Structure 1
Amino acid sequence: MGQSLAGRTVVLGITGGIAAYKAATLCSRLVSLGAEVRVIMTEGATKFIAPLTLQTLSRHPVATDVFDEHDAARVQHIDLADSADLVVVAPATANVIAKMAHGIADDMLSTTLLATTAPVLVAPAMNVHMLEHPAVVANLALLADRGVRFVESGTGQLACGYVGKGRLAEPDEIVLAIVELLSGKKPLAGKRVLITAGGTVERLDPVRYITNDSSGKMGFALAEAARDQGADVTLVCARTDGPPPAGVRIVKAESAEEMRAAVLARLPEADAVVKAAAVADYRPSVRHGSKMKKGPDRLTLELERTPDILQAIGDWKREAEASGAARSPLPFVVGFAAETDDVERNALDKLARKRCDLIVANDVSREGAGFGADTNIVSVYGAEGLIEALPLQSKRAVAERLWKLVRERAGWEEPGR
């Protein structure tokens, strides 16, 4: 790894899944990097791997019982909670994820998690259908909203016989995430990203307008994830549900025209542009300065096209490349395509016409993937076609994965890191 964790205390929580055996390797890797590792095992975890194994590897007693107090001067779960620079739960079962989400504290691990103020890193591992169950998805989204970080589950052969997503991430991958969190390394440090969010508003008069159902939640999740990874984030917001995230630069842009101007003005300085906003395709051709009074039974409204912001970004890139005047490399551009049919065909067409580097497409008619939801189901396309299909999961988890793909494809990190 080339990094030291000397002087850092990691509390490692191990829960009752078959992947618990991998926690031994994880513990050994952390100790070899100089970390002080304190292990907590649930009763279920002890059925898969003996506490003695983790005691030997960590060189500390393993905590398993909240009532088993060895030192009268200290309350064990409070001592563990206070000592942690980071709490890692690996593997994290659906059961412990639910406990964390709803504040249940009925064993040593869940009690310690409720008491700690340290950052928490969770590595889920379970059957693919369990991982995609709406209750689990909602619990993961709730934890993400509270700032819990995740190491995404892998895809492959599961212990239950299924092939799908749900495998515990490999120990080295979890160690890398721990090192990045504790060493202060931020994978987007030094990068300037420009993100759009929400639904634009096209006014008919001072009190009436045309808009769409976009909540801005996907754009907010992308901004939060980029912020947490060290990026300098500018978020151009139209109409959204709820306040934008803290710690990012906010630019208000109500209409498509205002958003276009805000984006193009900042485009030359951006390293990446993610256009997650839902921009109205049409606007009233006449905007009245005062409220229109009620008139006849029928009213015909004439509409005109709004400016195509993603197309403008693509045109700017083409002109910059042709002139040779722009800095190199040009911004990495990610577009979104909300569709209800022919998702792949429409996404690839949009990617080519608008010169995007990636297109993130979703069928907004699917449950859990529509506007306003806390979850999403997306497919990511590049010039070669489908790159990755992400199943139902929290928008924050989608955002984390998208930034990893951007970092790899923009050449900002090695693939697989």
Structure 2
Amino acid sequence: MSGSGTSRRIVVGIGGGIAAYKTCSVIRHFTEAGHDVRVIPTRAALEFIGAATLEALSGNPVSAEVFDDVEHVPHVRIGQQADLVIVAPATADLMARTATGRADDLLSATLLTARCPVLYAPAMHTEMWEHPATQHNVETIRARGGVVMTPASGRLTGKDTGAGRLPDPSEIALMGEVLLSDPDALTYDLRGTRVLITAGGTREPLDPVRYLGNRSSGKQGFALARAASHRGATVTLIAGATAELAVPSGVELIPVVTAAQMSEEIAKRSDEADVVIMAAAVADFRPVSVADSKIKKGAAGPAPIELTTNPDILRTLVAARTAGDVAASTVIVGFAAETGDASGGVLDHGREKLARKGCDLLVVNAVGDGKAFGTDDNTGWLLAATGTETALPLGSKTLMASRILDAVTDLLPEDRCS
């Protein structure tokens, strides 16, 4: 459900592409959340999916025509009353008509009258997506306040593969929920910015079967990658163990297992990054030795496991920036998953960690008792090296990601896109 916890008016527009059937999952997401969903297909979309299916899923009548139900002036009223419009799939033709202000069917007329957030989920062949005309239309839509998601890469119609695949329906729905909570959360302000993000927990092997690990699901790191990509950044995501999360659209994934592997991958890429966000839960320790075969249970009980300290990736990264191996303008963000103890509370430990690590921003989360790890929501504090402390209220991890990226954007050089 939306951040306000109330029923909202959602318009789901459907363009004429083979991916139209996937939009049924988006419709179901919002109807099951209790929202009032009105589906508006184009005439071409009805060649791919029938009106009866869309009416059954939404509970509302479905039409592509401005002259149906004309006494209620639907070509004006639907857009005026909407809290959110989602267009999926947003085809090349539909975005071209939108960019030029056409109003030759009910959906394009609705897009002209809508004053709420409008989210476009593109889907088309790679050549069509990359064509200068389409890119110009996308830029026009974004300049007018529309949010255009980055398409996924993968199998397209027929035997073709490449960029232009419809983003996963769950990702589209999630982006819609974020816009309901904060209409300005997905501003396209990171174009030309290279963002390196770590996510998930590392696993330090004991033997071929067992490992030392932690409870991190990777959801917050993936949310950061998703939000950064849709705000225009070029995103590389270095991910350890995750809860089988789908790779966000437009994001390059580098899978790793151990802290040493994560450290190596960061060292390879950090000198080219404008922003590095260390959201992964990196193991502090690893076994000194790894058994070649499964450790058996003996009568004398388990043998002690000798541990050694893993490299402190965040401190190493900050030191590399100080030494000039990483650009001085690179923004470095750390994460601190803390529990209070006899020596201080969660925020006390966060402040101490910020001073010790030397990063620009530190996100502090209280963990344990069902908090942070594995959940879809998150809360905490954002501490800055300048001394400011900002509370991050409870909300979806993608919404928190957007708030973190707002703070990152404030620290970036103004000429980074030139």
Q: Which one of 63, 67, 70 corresponds to residue 71 of structure 1?
A: 67
| Partners of 2:410 and 2:234 in 1: CA distance | 19
Q: Deviations over 1:55-75 (max 9, x none)?
A: xxxxxxxxxx989x9934879
| Partners of 2:208 and 2:394 in 1: CA distance | 39
Distance 1:73 1:339, change over 3 A: closer
| 1:76 to partner: Cα distance | 3.5
| 1:346 to partner: Cα distance | 1.5
Distance 1:387 1:89, change over 3 A: farther
Q: Which one of 161, 170, 176 corresponds to residue 148 of structure 1?
A: 176
| 1:153 to partner: Cα distance | 6.5
* 1:194 correspondence with 2:192: no
- Equivalent runs, 1:173-252 vs 2, <5 Å: 186-243=188-245, 244-252=247-255
Residue in 2 aligned with 1:7? Answer: none
Q: Is the 8 A contact 1:379 1:386 kept in 2?
A: no
Unaligned runs of 5+ in 1: 1-14, 18-64, 92-118, 122-141, 155-168, 181-185, 321-325
Q: Deviations over 1:174-198 (max 9, x none)?
A: 9xx7xx6xxxxx3111111100000
Residue in 2 aligned with 1:360? Answer: 363
Determine helix, strand or coil for the equivalent of 2:253. strand
- Read off the aligned partner of 1:332 and give its amino acid letter: V
| 1:206 to partner: Cα distance | 0.9
Q: Deviations over 1:150-201 (max 9, x none)?
A: 45869xxxxxxxxxxxxxx8xxx79xx7xx6xxxxx3111111100000000
Distance 1:294 1:153, change over 3 A: closer
| 1:385 to partner: Cα distance | 3.1
May I ask how many residue pairs the two structures share in their alignment? Answer: 275
Report which stretch shifted further, 390-399 or 339-348: 339-348
Q: Is the 8 A contact 1:144 1:396 kept in 2?
A: no
Q: Deviations over 1:348-403 (max 9, x none)?
A: 22112211000000111365x32000000020001243431011100000001111
- Read off the aligned partner of 1:227 and give its amino acid letter: S
Distance 1:296 1:400, change over 3 A: same
- Equivalent runs, 1:21-40 vs 2, <5 Å: none
Residue in 1 aligned with 2:331? Answer: 332
Q: Is the 8 A contact 1:88 1:120 kept in 2?
A: no
- Equivalent runs, 1:6-405 vs 2, <5 Å: 71-72=67-68, 76=74, 80-85=106-111, 145-148=173-176, 150=178, 186-243=188-245, 244-299=247-302, 300-320=304-324, 326=325, 328-341=327-340, 342-365=345-368, 367=370, 369-405=371-407
Distance 1:228 1:72, change over 3 A: closer
Distance 1:376 1:120, change over 3 A: farther
Q: Deviations over 1:223-265 (max 9, x none)?
A: 0001001111010010000233232111111000000000011
Determine helix, strand or coil for the equivalent of 2:175. coil
Q: Deviations over 1:90-113 (max 9, x none)?
A: 59xxxxxxxxxxxxxxxxxxxxxx
| Partners of 1:234 and 1:143 in 2: CA distance | 18
| Partners of 2:172 and 2:367 in 1: CA distance | 22
CA RMSD of superposed structures (Å): 3.6
| Partners of 1:329 and 1:84 in 2: CA distance | 47
Q: Is the 8 A contact 1:198 1:278 kept in 2?
A: yes
| 1:345 to partner: Cα distance | 1.8
Q: Is the 8 A contact 1:273 1:334 kept in 2?
A: yes
Determine helix, strand or coil for the equivalent of 1:219. helix
| Partners of 2:215 and 2:7 in 1: CA distance | 41
Determine helix, strand or coil for the equivalent of 1:205. coil
Q: Is the 8 A contact 1:206 1:288 kept in 2?
A: yes
Residue in 2 aligned with 1:160? Answer: none
| 1:285 to partner: Cα distance | 1.0
TM-score of the superposed pair, with normalisation by structure 1: 0.58
Distance 1:219 1:143, change over 3 A: closer
Quick one: percent identity of the two aligned structures? Answer: 40
| Partners of 2:351 and 2:378 in 1: CA distance | 19
Q: Is the 8 A contact 1:66 1:76 kept in 2?
A: no
Residue in 2 aligned with 1:107? Answer: none
Determine helix, strand or coil for the equivalent of 1:148. helix
Unaligned runs of 5+ in 2: 1-5, 9-59, 79-104, 118-144, 148-169
| Partners of 1:150 and 1:335 in 2: CA distance | 23
- Read off the aligned partner of 2:206 and give its amino acid letter: L
Distance 1:148 1:88, change over 3 A: farther
| Partners of 2:219 and 2:257 in 1: CA distance | 16
| Partners of 1:148 and 1:71 in 2: CA distance | 29
